[in-house]
């Protein structure tokens, strides 16, 4: 259900992941993951785009039908020199293709 995954190292045993979800709860999600002890433990999760786009495809659709319905993708993360994180992706909104950017901040409280 998560596609176009991208990872960024946060230090220690922490990663940030970004995923384009295509099933229920469609949207672009960012997660902070603790991968210590050979485990993948999500410690924070946020929907950063797509709250109102709804379900885009039906289970069992063929790939060509799915591809016509895709309206966002190619999510990536980039650490900035001030400690913020730039999340980018493409999206089609109101019939127009756009490149979206989101400035994120992770405060490690552990």
DSSP secondary structure of the chain: -EEEEEEEEEETTEEEEEEEE-SSS-EEEEEEEE-GGG--EEEEEEEEE-TTS---S-TT--HHHHHHH--EEEEEEEE-TTS-EEEEEEEEETTEEEEEEEEE------
Q: Where does the pLDDT of residue 34 fall: very low under 50, low under 70, confident under 90, or very high at 90 and above?
A: very high
Query: How many angstroms from the chain centroid is the CA of residue 13?
Result: 20
Domain count, the chain: 1
Whether residue 109 is contained in a domain is answered as: no
Q: Where does the pLDDT of residue 71 fall: very low under 50, low under 70, confident under 90, or very high at 90 and above?
A: confident
Judged against a pLDDT cut of 50, whether residue 84 lies above it is answered with yes
Whether residue 70 is contained in a domain is answered as: yes
Which position has the higher pLDDT, 59 or 62?
A: 59
pLDDT of residue 69: 57
| Mean pLDDT, the chain, integer | 82
pLDDT of residue 93: 80
Whether residue 76 is contained in a domain is answered as: yes
pLDDT of residue 30: 94
Judged against a pLDDT cut of 80, whether residue 53 lies above it is answered with no
Which position has the higher pLDDT, 49 or 57?
A: 49
The share of the chain scoring above pLDDT 70, in percent, equals 75
Which residue range forms the structural domain that includes residue 68? 2-104
């Amino acid at each position: 259900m998560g596609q176009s995954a991208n990872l960024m190292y946060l230090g220690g045993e922490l990663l940030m992941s970004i995923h384009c979800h295509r099933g229920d709860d469609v949207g672009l999600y960012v997660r902070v993951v603790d991968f210590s002890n050979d485990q993948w433990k999500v410690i924070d999760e946020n929907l950063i785009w797509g709250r109102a786009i709804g379900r885009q495809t039906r289970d069992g659709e063929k790939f060509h039908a799915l591809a016509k319905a895709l309206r966002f993708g190619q999510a990536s993360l980039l650490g900035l020199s001030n400690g913020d994180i730039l999340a980018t992706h493409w999206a089609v909104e109101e019939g127009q293709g756009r490149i979206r950017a989101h400035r994120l901040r992770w405060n490690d409280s552990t």
